[in-house]
Structure 1
């Protein structure tokens, strides 16, 4: 059973911030062997929210929800991460569904744009996203832009 929390940066406890950054670094830097600037000055910007998924006291999934104009002209979901030992049981789909619900609550009737790793295109398509770009490399990893129109 996953417990979801939605918080702006200023409301994260130091433990939550540590867990959030550790999960993202574990997934995006260590696991994917991709040194990149994880701390990109977007986490703490106005109206940016963090969705945290806990199993007991362990953070097992997270996303970053960004208002229009921070990453894309539209609302955006990014830094979508699930702990390696919690994959395969549908938590990723729950995480994205919770993220989309939170975006709808925060920014009603807004389209959502994402920069997705290309191999995850079918995952996002299952949730209504459509491809809007050709493949491009971001930090050496193939990505595509996608949008969920409202």
Structure 2
């Protein structure tokens, strides 16, 4: 398995198609969530992928400060259905955190996490900073990671 990090303009058409397909499968079909996935944030994000035999098995986007939140953010975190149970969710989130803290030298990350993943993100050091709210019909809460200086 190989980790790749690309800017939007570095993605191949095939990668972009696969990213949109996976995001639609996971968030729209599996989670029955109707929302606008093409939200204008992809072009200013880093796209982190874990690939096996050329196929994307896990994905997330790393979003610059000031786009979704005042701080950097992680979003669209997913593991392809056929690749689940291999620890890829932990690995892709760790890669995203590293892109921000090591690559961009930023120390704070804010995410809008689905509420059922509170403990998962908490295991990386994220702490809840909001009450639960409904986004696209799913309970969420904002969580923040602050790396020690």
TM-score by length of 2: 0.95
Cα deviations by residue, 1:75-104 (Å, 9 ceiling, x for unpaired):
100010101121122110011111111112
Unpaired segments ≥5 residues, structure 1? none
Alignment length (residue pairs): 147
For 1:147, the equivalent position in structure 2 comes to 144
Aligned-partner Cα distance in 1 for 2:113–2:143: 7
Cα deviations by residue, 1:16-38 (Å, 9 ceiling, x for unpaired):
10011111111000110111100
Aligned-partner Cα distance in 2 for 1:106–1:65: 11
Q: Are residues 1:57 and 2:61 paired?
A: no
Q: Are residues 1:40 and 2:39 paired?
A: yes
Moved more, 102-111 or 123-132: 102-111
Q: What secondary structure sits across from 1:44 in the alignment?
A: helix
TM-score by length of 1: 0.95
- CA drift of 1:107 comes to 1.8
- CA drift of 1:39 comes to 0.4
For 1:123, the equivalent position in structure 2 comes to 120
For 1:11, the equivalent position in structure 2 comes to 10
For 2:87, the equivalent position in structure 1 comes to 90
Aligned-partner Cα distance in 2 for 1:108–1:69: 16
For 2:30, the equivalent position in structure 1 comes to 31
Q: What secondary structure sits across from 2:42 in the alignment?
A: coil
Cα deviations by residue, 1:56-77 (Å, 9 ceiling, x for unpaired):
1111110010111000000100
Moved more, 74-83 or 103-112: 103-112
Moved more, 60-69 or 83-92: 83-92
- CA drift of 1:110 comes to 2.2
Moved over 2 A (4+): none
